[in-house]
Amino acid sequence: MENFASLLHGFGVALTTYHVMLMMIGVLLGILVGVLPGLGAPNGVSLLLPLTFTMDPVAAIILLTSMYWGALFGGSTTSILFNIPGEPSSVATTFDGYPMARQGQATQALTLAFLSAGFGALVGVILITVLSTWVAKFALRFSSPEYFAVYFLAFASFIGLGAASPFKTVVSMGLGFAFAAVGMDTVSGGLRLTYGFNELLSGISFLIAVIGLFGIGELMLTMEEGLRFDGIRARVKIRDVFKTIATLPRYWVTLLRSAAVGCWMGVTPGGPTAASFMSYGLAKRLSRRKEGFGQGEPEGVVAPETADHAAGSSAILPMLALGVPGSATAAVMMGGLMIWGLNPGPMLFVERPDFVWGLIASMYLGNIVAVLMVLATIPLFASILRIPFAIIGPVIVVVCFIGAYTVAGRPFDLWLALAFGVVGYLFKKLDYPIAPLVLAMVLGDKAEDAFRQSMIMSRGSLSIFWSNGLVTTLMLIGLALAFGPLLSSALGRLMKPKASSAVA
Amino acid sequence: MLKKTSWLIATAVTMTLGGVAQADWKPAKPVEFIVTSAPGGGTDNFARIVQSIIAKHKLMEQPIVVTNKGGGSGAEGFIYTKVATGDSHKLTFGTNNAYLLPYVAKLAYKPDELTPVAAMALDEFLLWVKADAPYKDAKSYIEAVKAKPDTFKMGGSQSKDTDQTLTSLIQDATGAKFIYVPFQGGGAAGVQLAGGHIDSNTNNPNENAGQWKAGAITPLCVFSPTRLQGGVKVTATMGWSDIPTCKEAGIPIDQFQMPRTVWLPGGVPADAVTFYADILKKVSETPEWKEYIERTSQTDRFLAGQDLKTFIASDDAKNRKVFEQEGWIAR
C-alpha cells in the first residue's frame, strides 16, 4: 500500500500548472510527429532532448513522455485514414481501421481507437503502480530462451490468420526475415546481405518498408482504381463521437484481454508492435465474428490499439527499474535520464522517489490529457477524407517521402521507399499478404538473436527451451497456438470427410 | 548597449584566451556532431554531454546538430565522415571502434582516412559476478572456471568487440575457458548477470553501477593500472576505490581501457583540428565534465596532438594482436 502513498505524493509533484502545460505541449508535438509517418516517437523524442538539458528532470521527463503518448495516438490516425501507419505499432490498426474509414465510419474508427488506446495505457500505468517491485523481479527471470519463446508466441498467434494461401504467407514472411537480416549481425559481428553497399550497413529500416508497402503501394492502387477514396461522402458528426463512446463497454472482453497481452509484452521486451499484432491475432481467433475481421470489424481496431498502448506505457517500467529499455523511444529517454544525472536501475525508486512517482503520476494525467485532446481533433482529421483525392493524394506522397527521409536523413531511403511501394503494389495485385512480412521484419532479427544466444548458452542443444517452467510454458502455449488450427481442421476433416474443401 | 557589452565580453574573452585559441579558423556554419551509436548508448551520452557543456558555457558561436549514425556498430558514422573529406564542420564521436572496426568487417573506410582530434576519457572494464556467487575474489573465480572449462558463461556487448577481446585476453592470461555470449549491449549483459543467466561480464562501471548498488552483482577487479578514483561508498561496505586492480587480484592483465574519441574527416586544415581540440580541452576542464566522469567512473584523460597519435598506435597494435590470434580479421 505504500505505493499508493507514493503515488499521491507523485500527483503532488506532477499537478502544477507548469507541468500540465508541458503535458499539453508534449502531447500536441507528439500527435504531430506521430501523424507524419517515419518521424515517429523515437525521432521526435531525440529532437526534443537537447531542449531538456536545462530543465529539471521531472519537468523534462514529463515533456518527453507526453510526447510519446501523443505520438502513439497520432500514429493510429493515419493508419485509419490513409492505411499508412505512422508508427510501427499501429500497423495492425490498419487491418480493420482503414476498411472502416472507407465505409464512411472514420469517426467511429478513430473514436474507438483513441478510447481503447487510452484504456490500454491506463491499465499499463496501474500495473506499474501496483506491481512495480514484483514486475521488475519477474523481468529478471527472462533470458535469451525466454525471449525467443515470447517472440515465437507472437509469431504463433498470428500464423494462419489471413485469408491468403499458406504458401503466400510463407513467402511473405520469408522476405521479411531476409530484410530483417540485412546489416551488422550482433551474434557473429559480421556484415550480412549488404553486397558492398554502404547504405545497407545499418540495415533496412522497418519504417521505410512500412511507408513504402502501405503508403505508396496503397496510393498506386488507388490511382489505378480511379483516383478517389471511397466513403468520403460520409458526413462528420460530432454526435457520432459520443455514440461511439457509448458502444465501448460492449467490447469489454477484448479490452481486458488486449490490455493483458499488452502489459505482458511491454514488460517482457516484446514491445508494442509485437503486442498489437498478437492481440489482433487473438481477437480474431476468439471472436464470434471472425469473418468480419479485415473488412471493418470494430473489434479489430480495439484489440491492437489497447495492446499497443498498454505495452507502450508498461515498457517504461523495465527502463526505470532495470535500465533495459522496452522500446526504441524508451532507449532515447534513458539516454536523457543519464544526462540529467539519474542512473536508471533498481535503486532509482529508492534514491529518487520524487522523480519516479512524479513520472508515474504524470503518466495518468498525460494519457487523460492526450485522450481528450485527440478526441477533439477527430472532426478535423475525419474531414481530411472529404478533400478530393487530386489534392490529398500528392500531399500524401510528399508526406511519405518526407517521412522516409526523416527516419535517418539518407537520400538512399527515398529510393528504398519507392521500391517497397512497388513491392506493396505487386503484393496487393497478386494477393500476397503484407502483414507477415511486416511482423517478420520487426521481430525477425530479435528472434534470431535470442535463438542463437540460446544455442551458444546450451552449446547447441534445443533442450534449453524446456529447461525451466517459464520457458516451457511459453513454448507450449506457442506450439498450441501455431498448430492448434491445423490440428482442429485435420480432426474436423477426419470427422466429416465430405465437407473438407470448405475450410481454407 | 547590449551589443556593445557583448562585444566587450567577446574582446575580453579573446584577449584572455588569445594565447591558446588561435582564431585562424572558426566554424562558419552549424557544426554536426555524428554519434556512432544509437540514441541512449555510451557514445551517445558522451557526445550529448559535450554538446550540453558547449551550449551551457557558450564555447562555440555556431549551433550544434547531433545526428545518430550507429548502423553496423558505428561503421555507418565513420563512413559518413570519410565521405565528407575536407568538411571541417563534421565532428565524429566514437571509441576505439574508429580504428578497430575495419579489422573485423570489410568496410568502405580506413582509419587513416579520418583525422583524430582528441581522446577525452578512458572507460574502464571490470570483472563482475553475481553478488550471491561463492567467489570472494578474482583468483577463486578464475580457479573455478579453470576447473570446469567451457561451462561458465561470460556475457558482453556485441561480437568481436571490446568485451570479447578482453574475454580472450583473460583466457590467454589465465588459461581459463569461457563460453562468450554476445548481447545487444552492456545494459542487457548487466541484467542477464543480475538475473543469474550468465556467470560474469566485463561491463563498464556505468553499465553495472545500478545493479551493484542494488546488491544484485559485485565487482571482483578492475582492468586498470591503478585503482579507481572516488572514495564514496556505493554499497554499505564498498566503493569504487576499494575494488582491487586485476593485477593485484591475480589476473596478469595490466591495462584494458576504452578511449572515448573525437574525429574529423580527412583533408581538413590543421587549424580546424587545433580549434576543436582547444574547445574539447576547455570542455574537459568544466565542473560538468568532472561530474560526468565521476558519475560514470571513467578515467579523466585528455589526449590530443602527438600524444593521441602515440596512444592510438599502441592501442591499435595491442588489439590487433588479439584479433589475429582469434582469426577475426576480415579479408
Say what the pLDDT of residue A271 is. 81
Does A339 contact chain B (CB < 8 Å)?
yes
Same domain, B250 and B285: no
* Residue B295 within any structural domain of the chain: yes
Same domain, B199 and B262: no
* Residue B115 within any structural domain of the chain: yes
Q: Which DSSP category does B265 fall into? A: E
Write down the ipTM of this complex: 0.85
Report which of A141, A117, A70, A60 is spatially closest to residue A248, judged by C-alpha positions.
A117
**Nearest residue in A to B234, CA atom:** A347
* pTM of the predicted model as reported, rounded to 2 decimal places: 0.87
Say what the pLDDT of residue B80 is. 92
Please, which residues 346-365 of chain A have a Cβ atom closer than 8 Å to chain B? Answer: 346-348
Same domain, B280 and B238: no
Four-residue CA torsion sign, A324, A326, A331, A332: negative
Q: Which of B52, B213, B330 sits opposite A339 (nearest CB)?
A: B52
Q: Do B104 and A409 touch (CB under 8 A)?
A: no
pLDDT per residue as tens, chain A (504 positions)? 577 888 888 888 888 899 999 999 999 999 888 887 767 777 788 778 878 877 888 899 899 989 988 888 888 888 898 888 877 788 899 999 999 988 888 889 999 999 999 999 999 999 988 888 787 788 888 899 999 998 898 888 877 565 667 788 889 989 999 999 998 888 988 889 988 888 888 889 888 888 899 888 888 888 887 755 554 555 667 788 888 888 989 999 999 999 999 998 888 777 888 899 999 989 988 888 888 888 899 999 999 999 999 998 888 888 788 777 766 777 778 878 877 777 777 778 888 888 888 888 989 999 999 999 999 888 888 787 778 878 888 888 888 898 888 877 889 999 999 999 999 999 989 989 888 898 898 888 889 999 999 999 999 999 999 999 999 999 999 898 888 777 777 777 777 655 444 443
Q: Do A201 and B66 touch (CB under 8 A)?
A: no
Per-residue b/e over A109-139, b at no fewer than 16 CB within 10 Å? bbbbbbbbbbbbbbbbbbbbbebbeebbeeb
Does B79 contact chain A (CB < 8 Å)?
yes
Contacts of B100 (CB under 8 A, 6+ apart): B316, B319, B323
Same domain, B220 and B162: yes
Torsion angle of the four alpha carbons B186, B189, B193, B194, in this order, in degrees rounded to the nearest 10: 70
Does A186 contact chain B (CB < 8 Å)?
yes
Same domain, B236 and B251: yes
Say what the pLDDT of residue A160 is. 59
Same domain, B118 and B262: yes
Residues of A in contact with B191 (CB under 8 A): 140, 322-324
Same domain, B117 and B226: no
* Residue B16 within any structural domain of the chain: no
Q: Do B184 and A346 touch (CB under 8 A)?
A: no
The domain spans of chain A are 2-502
CATH of the domain at B43: 3.40.190.150
Task: Give the gyration radius of chain B's Cα atoms.
Answer: 21
CATH of the domain at B143: 3.40.190.10
CA-to-CA dists, residue B252 to B7, B168, B259, angstroms:
58, 13, 21
Q: Do B76 and A202 touch (CB under 8 A)?
A: yes
Number of domains in chain B: 2
Same domain, B236 and B295: no
Q: Do B161 and A189 touch (CB under 8 A)?
A: yes
CB-defined contacts A:B, below 8 A: 143
Same domain, B54 and B102: yes
The tens digit of pLDDT for each residue in B188-238 reads: 899 899 999 999 999 999 888 888 988 999 999 999 999 998 778 888 889
Domain boundary (B215, B231, B255) is at B255
Per-residue b/e over A287-299, b at no fewer than 16 CB within 10 Å? beeeebbbebbbb
Does B185 contact chain A (CB < 8 Å)?
no
Same domain, B99 and B88: yes
Domain boundary (B255, B285, B314) is at B255
Tell me the Ramachandran region of residue A85: left when phi exceeds 0, alpha when psi lies from -120 to 50, beta otherwise: beta
Under-50 pLDDT residues of chain B:
1-5, 8, 10-22
Domain range for B232 is: 126-255
Residues of B in contact with A193 (CB under 8 A): none
Same domain, B156 and B237: yes
Burial class (CB in 10 A: 0-12, 13-18, 19+), B136: exposed
* Residue B309 within any structural domain of the chain: yes
**Nearest residue in A to B331, CA atom:** A190
Say what the pLDDT of residue B13 is. 45
Cβ contact A217:A98 at 8 Å? no
Say what the pLDDT of residue A435 is. 84
Q: Which of A183, A347, A459 sits opposite B213 (nearest CB)?
A: A347
Same domain, B208 and B313: no
Domain boundary (B220, B238, B255) is at B255
Mean pLDDT of chain B: 90
Say what the pLDDT of residue A501 is. 46
Residues of A in contact with B67 (CB under 8 A): 409
